[in-house]
Structure 1
Amino acid sequence: MSKIVAVIKRLFVQNWKMKLIALIFAFILWSFVIAEDNPYKTKTFRDFPVTYTAADELRQKDLTTSEPLAQLLSSVTVTAQARADALQYLNENMIQVTVDLSSIDGIGEYTLRVEGKSSLNDTTVNVEPSTVTVNVEEIVPRSVPVDVQLTGEQEGFYYGEPVLEDETIEIRGARSKVESVAKAICKIDVGEMTGPTTASYTVEYVDSKGETIPANNFTGSSSVIVELPVYPQKEVPIDLEAVRSTTSGLAEGYEITGVTVEPQAVNIAGKLEDIESIGTVTLEPIVLDNAMGDTIVEANVRLPEGVIASVPSKVQVQLTIMQPELSQTYSAMRIAARNLEDDNLDVSITPSAVDVTVYGTQAALGDFSASLLKPFVDLTGLGKGVHQNVPVKFQNEPDLGVRPVSSSTTVTVTIS
């Protein structure tokens, strides 16, 4: 037994340096053979998605990135290196690319490593780009006003003022983004609506220039509840006689002699069964203050029962106001001849006298007397002969303050 041990000992001890060199050489040769049979190779994955870790932890610190994480660096190019026999099984599900946000502890600019790793053993993963720069801001809340805008309006329908459940919407996000929001716009397509509607609608955020700010910059609800009155409508005229009869406040002795409105008709809205039988509308009573002349006022349309709204809701009313016209008749007023070119000629007027009816207000007639009525015919340019249809005129007309009307507006004049 001792001889066997001695032989084995000599086998390892004698010329051990040469034997060690031979062993090393054999290992190198073996590695070379193995490498030739199963070399290292690479596989490239383009547009590989990046995952950000510790994002919740960052928000718990009331911090966030100025831009949404997906916009900072959404994808990278990944190059994986492994033995050929293993690399053939490598796929995207065996690789993970991450950016760790846990080291961020305050506002400012940070350059973070983009790390790549694989679940496949003996695999090296390289990522390009290998870093990403992020700007970190504090998270702030803010209430912004909501503006509702309608599109797709149809003829024949009335669209009332939208009613928001909340006039503002609460947003949270990076200070610079939150402070840049001017308002939230809620766009509603009413093209298919035929009746009142209450629903939830998504909003979009805009800055003071009207440029859209993506909603993924903010957390919180991005929708609002809006009640929208939508009703059928029809056009009906305004009852002018009703306007006349319901107007008050005229000076004593005055009356309304004419009524015009602009526009002459309005659109009324309501349920179809409530508006289809309505033929006209009137206005709320007009109250004047001792009116003695023509007046222009604005009046509200009075809504009949069942009518939701009128478009327009107000109209312009022009009232013609004057004292009632009275009359008085003066009989056998003699007609004078004037401007006869030759005093030696004789003039005969047929008829020689007329009845004159004078029209005017009570005050004007009270100030008028028969002596002011001086009917005449103007003979300028008329020579000898019979002249028919010579008009009867009145001295000082139209400054008489009344309107004289002759029983015969023309006469026959004979000059001889």
Structure 2
Amino acid sequence: MSKEKENDLTIKIFALIIAIILWSYVMSEENPFMEKEIRNIEVTLSNIDSVERQKLVIMEPKDPKITVRLYGRRNDLDRIVADDILASVDLSGYGEGAVKVPVYIEVPDEVKVVDYYPKEILFKFEKLITKDMVVNVETVGELPQGYVLGEPVIKPQSVYIEGPRSWVDSVMNVVATVDITSKMEDINVTVPIRLIDEQGNDVRGVELNQNLVDVFIPVYKIKKVPIELQIEGQLPDDYKITDIKIEPNEIDIKGKKEDLEKINSIKTKPVNINDLINKQNVVVELDLPEKISLVNPNQQITVTLNIEESITKVFRYTLGEINMVNLASNLKVDESDLNQPFTVTIKGTSSKINPINKEDLDIEVDLKDLTAGSYYVEPVVKNAVDFIVANIQPKSLSITLKEE
């Protein structure tokens, strides 16, 4: 090669080097290498069908996103947006519970990944469960005075709810709300169902196998009537009923208006009177007519019977210890007659007889219109109120009246 050609090649190589240097300089100044952070990159859920086959539900997170930091030329980075970056998680093989799932990313070839976060996402999986729950009726409003509700009839009585385990478990009550304002006739309505948690709030996100139920609630009129005690059997001869108390002595009953009009009292079921001896009180049942019930079915009816044994008491007197009434002023009783003895036997309940003493009896002999002479007179007990005089022995006494 000639020297001239060698010089020409050298110049070309040198020019190329200069051009590369200049290009590198220009690129470093005009299109330099740099980093760029891209936020809110949506994460694709791969193999979601594996989750669904296990009847699992993703509770958290609902919309997972990550942040990526890239390195590359400014022009390349400027063209890249969040949709150009593929972030994904593989959900196959996981069961119920909380688990960290690694994030995989893919970026365009002209840039490199410096870092991304989070590198793992905490997923919470819950089982999709079904539960059978009874429907309860809740009323709003007030009935007119003198009316009361009967037991509601609900069709269907229960419903199936379905959803994530924690949501289904949070349902404490299934409620059908019925407005009873001013109702005087039976209520027959179709109403929606509400799912209620422990705090009384509506539970969202749980599905029902049906949203409506039919509710029938009978409306009854109230009537207050007296209670009549029915007693069977007889007391022994030496016992007596001194008092009867029924507590309460009136009761509120409910029924249809036409049925209540026929009822003026409610009888108890028969009570054997001998079962009440030595008992202070007894709970009795009511003999309710057909189609009639108590407003308060738990109310107890208590019967108290005071049953006492009849006893006798004997007091001894002399004629001189009792009152001589209507004796003429010019007459007197022979002194020897005043010592004549007699007895008085009284009978009654123990509570009345026991407190009575001899001095408590008011006994007298009536001498009205008698003149001087001998007579037979009969002592009389004047204050026999809480007892009876069973016997006076002897029944009559002989006396002699003398002029003074």
1:382 is aligned to: none
Give me the TM-score of the superposition, normalised by structure 2.
0.51
Q: RMSD between aligned alpha carbons?
A: 6.2
1:265 to 245, 251, 255: 251
Spell out, residue by residue over 1:100-131, the C-alpha distance to the aligned partner (whole angstroms, 9 max, x if none).
Answer: 34332556764213467899x98989764332
Q: Which amino acid aligns with 1:316?
A: I
1:55 to 44, 48, 58: 48
Contact 2:243–2:305 (8 Å) recurs in 1: yes
Give % identity: 8
1:202 to 187, 191, 194: 194
1:318 to 288, 291, 303: 303
Answer with 277-286 or 22-31: which moved more: 277-286
1:113 to 98, 102, 114: 102
In 2 relative to 1, CA 17–229 (structure 1 residues): closer, same or farther, beyond 3 Å? Answer: same
Contact 1:58–1:101 (8 Å) recurs in 2: no
Distance 2:116 2:319 in 1: 121
1:286 is aligned to: 269
Contact 1:100–1:112 (8 Å) recurs in 2: yes
1:237 deviates by 1.0
Distance 1:277 1:11 in 2: 132
In 2 relative to 1, CA 317–20 (structure 1 residues): closer, same or farther, beyond 3 Å? Answer: same
1:366 is aligned to: none
Contact 2:224–2:251 (8 Å) recurs in 1: yes
1:56 deviates by 3.5
Aligned residues: 321
Distance 2:87 2:80 in 1: 22
In 2 relative to 1, CA 111–44 (structure 1 residues): closer, same or farther, beyond 3 Å? Answer: closer
In 2 relative to 1, CA 311–202 (structure 1 residues): closer, same or farther, beyond 3 Å? Answer: same
Give me the TM-score of the superposition, normalised by structure 1.
0.50
Q: Which amino acid aligns with 1:20?
A: L
Q: Which amino acid aligns with 2:195?
A: V
Q: Which amino acid aligns with 1:238?
A: V
1:160 is aligned to: 151
Distance 1:76 1:165 in 2: 45
Matched, 1:238 2:238: no
Unaligned runs of 5+ in 2: 309-316, 329-345, 350-360, 365-380, 393-403
Matched, 1:71 2:60: yes
Matched, 1:298 2:284: yes
Contact 1:51–1:98 (8 Å) recurs in 2: yes
Q: Which amino acid aligns with 2:252?
A: V
Distance 1:289 1:403 in 2: 33
Q: Which amino acid aligns with 1:129?
A: P
1:22 is aligned to: 18
1:186 is aligned to: 174
Contact 2:269–2:286 (8 Å) recurs in 1: no
Match runs of 1:167-178 below 5 Å: 167=158, 169=160
In 2 relative to 1, CA 127–311 (structure 1 residues): closer, same or farther, beyond 3 Å? Answer: farther
Q: Secondary structure at the match of 1:28?
A: helix
Spell out, residue by residue over 1:54-100, the C-alpha distance to the aligned partner (whole angstroms, 9 max, x if none).
Answer: 334213135x4xxx63434755564687968996996x8x5888653
Distance 2:217 2:98 in 1: 52
For the pair shown, the structure with the greater C-alpha radius of gyration is: 2
1:23 deviates by 3.8
In 2 relative to 1, CA 275–11 (structure 1 residues): closer, same or farther, beyond 3 Å? Answer: farther
Q: Which amino acid aligns with 1:17?
A: I
Distance 2:290 2:77 in 1: 85
1:301 deviates by 6.9
1:149 deviates by 7.2
Distance 2:11 2:105 in 1: 49
Q: Which amino acid aligns with 1:266?
A: D
Q: Secondary structure at the match of 2:93?
A: coil
